[in-house]
Structure 1
């Protein structure tokens, strides 16, 4: 398994998502999105998933935390819900049908669920476990170490632990009824620091 096995979708939506991410997010948060996409693709291959919408998975992964950015923050919605609406706008501009645009919202919102049933939402499940790996190191043993190292070399973690920790604490303080509060109460800051990917 190599990162080159998973080409970036050559589509208007994929290009727009990455452009938006790079213009509004820090390098560390954007790299987190790209690693999450590659982890998701790796888990899909390791888990024998069929029929994955790879463009949907890419767009959702790249934009899944954009709702933490000040320009897209929403004073009432959770950051994942706000980010999902950004994905709807991006994919509408790319000509996606309404149902598929809503899928981008669903996948992004569900990445913060405690668990997503793969039979109910394959892409949501893959993004949920991929972000779990990148944030807390969960399931790191499922993917080959060589693949992990190559992805980390291509998209370094940088200051992700400090940046994302600060983002989620801010979200939890301002929106205590959202998933951000559960993440903070569950020790996400300590999990970021202890993630074995930090030592690869």
Structure 2
């Protein structure tokens, strides 16, 4: 596969944060999301900021973690705020912090235009692949096998559906609630990555 996880102090720190606050299933989902995105981008000639995408991938679901689950904000917005604070701690300029938050918020959009936001596009695409299997045909079987061998799913489907159902019950106007109402559990259960 020849995909390399970027090795910067911010990337190492974001992995440390994700490891501390996520279950093993959500941690592996975060890493896989980066790997799917990087592979897809490389195959299609999409230029992206690897550090920004990796940090966003590691932090994109932190709003689902109990410590960061805001009582009123959708989880993606809460995660965006965490990324902004993380970026401040990493010494990133304000614009880079804003971009990290924006990429995380946009990962829940139906579509992000690659020309306007390559990192947002890639994270939206790759998280959809990993959670519901949307577009997994863009990743060859040998690459899927290698990534899943290194970062197994560990019951992600059940855990993720439970997280979204919890968000939906408490935040009925959120995108997570909209996903649940539109058959999210069935799409997740049908994910070819789990079969």
Normalised to the residue count of structure 1, the TM-score between the two structures is 0.95
Question: Which runs of structure 2 are paired with 1:70-85 in the superposition (5 Å)?
Answer: 70-85=66-81
1:150-171 CA distances to partner (integer Å, 9 max, x unpaired)? 0000000011011111001000
1:43-87 CA distances to partner (integer Å, 9 max, x unpaired)? 10122112x110000000111111011100111111001011111
In the alignment, which residue of structure 2 is the partner of 1:174?
Answer: 170
In the alignment, which residue of structure 1 is the partner of 2:36?
Answer: 39
3-state SS of the aligned residue for 1:71?
A: helix
Q: Among 86, 101, 115, which residue is 2:111 paired with?
A: 115
In the alignment, which residue of structure 1 is the partner of 2:129?
Answer: 133
Question: Which runs of structure 2 are paired with 1:1-200 in the superposition (5 Å)?
Answer: 2=1, 5-50=2-47, 52-199=48-195
Shift of 1:144: 1.3
Aligned residue pairs, count = 195
**Aligned-residue CA RMSD in angstroms?**
0.9
Maintained 8 Å contact 1:46/1:143: no
Structure 1 Cα separation of the partners of residues 138 and 112 of structure 2 = 18
Unaligned runs of 5+ in 2: none
Structure 1 Cα separation of the partners of residues 183 and 44 of structure 2 = 28
Maintained 8 Å contact 1:25/1:66: yes
Shift of 1:12: 1.7
